[in-house]
């Protein structure tokens, strides 16, 4: 009973300063939240798990005498928990929601909680017959496994992005026309590639998707054209991350992007276009005055099997049609 009465004065002197120091150290780096509001549920769950673990050990265990505390273990295990927590926050503050983010953040959170349990084990004596303590500490290798899987998919994501960048550099060396704002190929290059695809792979499906940013003129009017350029760059980057290596992303005109998808039937292209719209809709773009700009896209898709100018004109008319719910038009 006496050991539990001394719980606040014993453990709090070690635990509270370490976590407070971590919060103070990372606060300046997180002052611009960017993506954090997207991960509110994950942040709440992690914040609730930390005191829950503490309460579990304090309730089911007995506080060890101060003289037998192993300070090296406390510093190492507690430091691991703090650093994993910092990396967890960094990941959520810099990435949108998605499979890669969930795996990396989930692995780091598991490592943080497992290390936290391992650290609490240095303060509290738990019955040897209890298995829950071992399960909590097993979160560390489990988190390492999840983190490794997440890093694998992140590596694949970077390969796709690098492939697009290399493709852009090759085109730049060939003196092709580029859009100066997004650094993507322009409409003239898109029309050329459509003709080449028809000649190179006759009879093979090649889809074309046109994407239009909703109410982009309001962004320019309320935030200025410079902020509008930043929005175009952010949307282009998000689209690149969600395309295949064989896909070609171009800035078609104004607030419109075009994606040429070789070997993709029209039905699959429509599903891919909806996914692109969803990913852009998950973005939380903040203007220079820190006001949030909500983004959404509408899309139209068709097969790129006709005269490029005609196909693009039909898609332009389709994407300008009034939206019905969340669906977008697709010309016949």
Q: Is residue 329 part of a domain?
A: no
Identify the bridge partners of residue 261 per DSSP, sorted by sequence position. Answer: 207
Retrieve residue 111's tokens: 């490592």
Q: Is residue 63 part of a domain?
A: yes
Q: How many domains does the chain have?
A: 2
What b/e sequence results for 19-42 when a residue is b if at least 16 CB atoms lie within 10 Å of its CB, and e otherwise? eeebeeebeeebeeebbbebbeeb
Over range 244-258, report the average pLDDT: 90
Identify the domain boundary among 102, 123, 157. Answer: 157
Question: 118 and 207 share a domain?
Answer: no
Q: Is residue 325 part of a domain?
A: no
Q: How far apart are CA 115 and CA 136, in angstroms?
A: 9
Question: 153 and 220 share a domain?
Answer: no
Q: For residue 83, what pLDDT band results from cuts at 50, 70 and 90?
A: very high
Question: 135 and 106 share a domain?
Answer: yes
**What integer pLDDT is reported at residue 9 of this predicted model?**
47
Question: 134 and 217 share a domain?
Answer: no
Q: Is residue 258 part of a domain?
A: yes
Question: 204 and 112 share a domain?
Answer: no
Give the E-state strand segments of 36-164 in sequence order. Answer: 62-63, 124-125
**What integer pLDDT is reported at residue 174 of this predicted model?**
55
Question: 235 and 143 share a domain?
Answer: no
Q: Is residue 172 part of a domain?
A: no
Q: pLDDT tens digit string along 169-209?
A: 665 555 556 778 888 888 888 898 898 888 887 778 899 99
- Residue 28, domain extent: 2-157
Question: 142 and 233 share a domain?
Answer: no
Q: How far apart are CA 283 and CA 276, in angstroms?
A: 11
Question: 147 and 278 share a domain?
Answer: no
Place of tokens 């988190």: 143
Q: Is residue 303 part of a domain?
A: yes
Question: 146 and 43 share a domain?
Answer: yes
Pairing mode, if any, of strands 206-213 and 256-262? Answer: antiparallel
Q: Is residue 144 part of a domain?
A: yes
Question: 110 and 37 share a domain?
Answer: yes
Question: 148 and 209 share a domain?
Answer: no
**What integer pLDDT is reported at residue 126 of this predicted model?**
85
Q: pLDDT tens digit string along 22-79?
A: 554 444 444 444 567 778 888 899 989 999 999 888 888 888 888 888 888 888 988 8
Question: 132 and 261 share a domain?
Answer: no
Q: Is residue 285 part of a domain?
A: yes
């Amino acid at each position: 009973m006496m050991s539990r009465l001394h719980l606040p004065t014993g453990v709090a002197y070690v635990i509270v300063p370490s976590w407070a120091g971590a919060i103070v150290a990372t606060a300046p780096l997180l002052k611009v939240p960017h993506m954090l509001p997207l991960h509110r549920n994950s942040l709440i769950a992690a914040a609730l798990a930390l005191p829950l673990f503490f309460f579990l050990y304090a309730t089911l265990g007995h506080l060890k005498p101060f003289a037998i505390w192993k300070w090296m273990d406390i510093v190492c295990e507690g430091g691991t928990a703090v650093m994993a927590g910092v990396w967890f926050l960094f990941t959520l503050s810099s990435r949108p929601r998605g499979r890669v983010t969930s795996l990396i953040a989930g692995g780091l959170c598991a490592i943080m909680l497992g290390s936290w349990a391992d650290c609490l084990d240095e303060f509290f004596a738990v019955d040897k017959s209890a298995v829950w303590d071992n399960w909590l500490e097993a979160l560390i290798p489990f988190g390492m496994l999840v983190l490794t899987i997440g890093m694998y998919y992140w590596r694949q994501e970077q390969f796709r992005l690098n492939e697009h960048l290399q493709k852009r550099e090759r085109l730049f060396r060939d003196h092709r026309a580029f859009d100066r704002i997004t650094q993507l190929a322009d409409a003239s290059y898109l029309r050329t590639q459509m003709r080449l695809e028809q000649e190179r792979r006759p009879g093979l499906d090649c889809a074309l998707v046109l994407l239009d940013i909703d109410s982009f003129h309001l962004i320019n009017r309320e935030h200025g054209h410079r902020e509008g350029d930043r929005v175009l760059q952010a949307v282009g980057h998000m689209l690149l991350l969600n395309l295949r290596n064989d896909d070609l992303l171009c800035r078609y005109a104004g607030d419109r992007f075009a994606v040429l998808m070789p070997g993709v039937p029209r039905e699959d292209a429509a599903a891919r276009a909806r996914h692109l719209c969803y990913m852009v809709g998950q973005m939380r773009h903040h203007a220079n005055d820190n006001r949030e700009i909500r983004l959404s896209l509408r899309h139209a898709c068709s097969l790129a099997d006709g005269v490029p100018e005609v196909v693009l004109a039909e898609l332009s008319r389709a994407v300008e049609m009034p939206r019905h719910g969340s669906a977008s038009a697709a010309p016949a």
